[in-house]
Amino acid sequence: MSESVRFFILRIILLSSLIAVPTVARGEQPGSPLKLDHAEPLFIDLIRDLGARKGEREWNFGFGLTDQARHDRYEALVEYEWAPRDRLGLEVEVPLTFYPAAANGPTPSNRVEGLKTAVQWTFLVSERMQTSMALGYLNELEFADLQGEDRRGHLVRGNVYNPFFVAAKRLSPRWHSLVYTGPHIFQPTGDGHTEWGYDVNSSVHYMVGASRNFVGLEVNKTWADADFDMTLRPQMRLQINDHMLVGIVTGVPIKRESQRLSMFIRLIYEPRHR
């Protein structure tokens, strides 16, 4: 790990300790099914908390900047997730991309990237093992760049199918680990071939004090077309009040091919529920 990454982690540990907000019980009702608190990664997040309880819901607003070889890329997302019944989570997300004008060549157009819908079912919550597991499925309709090379083609560029498996374990009251893994299959519109890849997203977090604040490291790994990419994402989450949290993520790719350093901020709002 580079000196800059280590220094970043030390700084956010200190900051989180200074502004810790005490934890309060959230939606605990007599007779509710068991739910373990797990630290959820901030970049590739879950569809809903593992062991979600009926009525839980959450809004996410994300903003990111990626330094690319030819031009910078700004990203934004709006995401809504909710639990219609115990241990079942649903999600709808709309990602957007913006490109500032570049002086060294053509710039891709700003656009809505697509529409993501997902479902997640927690099938195991074990207090003895301090472990939760879930199965899920995410589907993304990728929209075409109508102002670019796709402007005469289809409105939908293709479809991404992504079944996944999640396993999380509390290593101790403060140390949490999680693995989110599964294949992703891209099928272009009007084309018979498919493109395959496989993702393994692992993370470890340290909960700071009696709060929902944490610091940690998320590692995103992808195998596709005989290529391997890995990005380290040091991150922190700060609790503003009982219903609002903010997450800050830095992206450090292992290989600087087309993507370099990146930053991402996630605002999380959890409305009160019964």
**Total structural domains within the chain:** 1
- Residue 225 pLDDT: 82
d(CA 132, CA 121): 11
Provide the CATH number for the domain around residue 137. 2.40.160
- Phi, psi values for residue 254, rounded to 5°: -70, -40
DSSP assigned state of 32:
P
- Residue 30 pLDDT: 58
Q: Is residue 150 part of a domain?
A: yes
Q: Is residue 159 part of a domain?
A: yes
Pick from 236, 190, 191, 247: which is nearest to 214 by CA? 236
Q: Is residue 32 part of a domain?
A: no
pLDDT (tens, 9 = 90+) of the chain, 274 residues, equals 455 444 444 454 444 443 333 333 344 455 689 999 999 999 999 999 999 999 999 999 999 998 876 778 899 999 999 999 999 999 999 999 998 876 566 777 788 999 999 999 999 999 999 999 999 999 999 988 766 555 556 788 899 999 999 999 999 999 999 999 999 999 998 777 899 999 999 999 999 988 899 999 999 999 998 889 999 999 999 999 989 999 999 999 998 666 778 999 999 999 986 6
- 250, 233 Cβ separation under 8 angstroms: yes
d(CA 38, CA 36): 6
Q: Is 27 left (phi over 0), alpha (psi -120 to 50) or beta?
A: left
Which residues in 201-224 are b (16+ Cβ under 10 Å) and which e? bbbebbbbeebbbbbbbbebeeee
Six token digits for residue 260:
């370099």
- Residue 260 pLDDT: 79
Q: Is residue 254 part of a domain?
A: no
- Residue 201 pLDDT: 98
- Residue 9 pLDDT: 45
- Residue 130 pLDDT: 97
- 36, 198 Cβ separation under 8 angstroms: no
- 142, 158 Cβ separation under 8 angstroms: yes
- Residue 18 pLDDT: 39
CB atoms < 10 A from the CB of 121, how many? 16
Q: Is residue 31 part of a domain?
A: no
Using the Cα atoms of residue 200, residue 63, residue 168 and residue 52 in order, give the sign of their dihedral.
negative
- 220, 44 Cβ separation under 8 angstroms: yes
Classify residue 61 by burial, with Cβ atoms within 10 Å: 0-12, 13-18, 19+: middle
Domain that holds residue 93: 51-101+109-224
d(CA 50, CA 36): 8
Q: Is residue 207 part of a domain?
A: yes
- Tens digit of each residue's pLDDT (9 = 90 or more) over 172-182: 999 999 999 99
The strand pairing partners of 47, in sequence order, are: none
Q: Which three-class secondary structure state does DSSP give residue 79? A: strand
Q: Is residue 14 part of a domain?
A: no
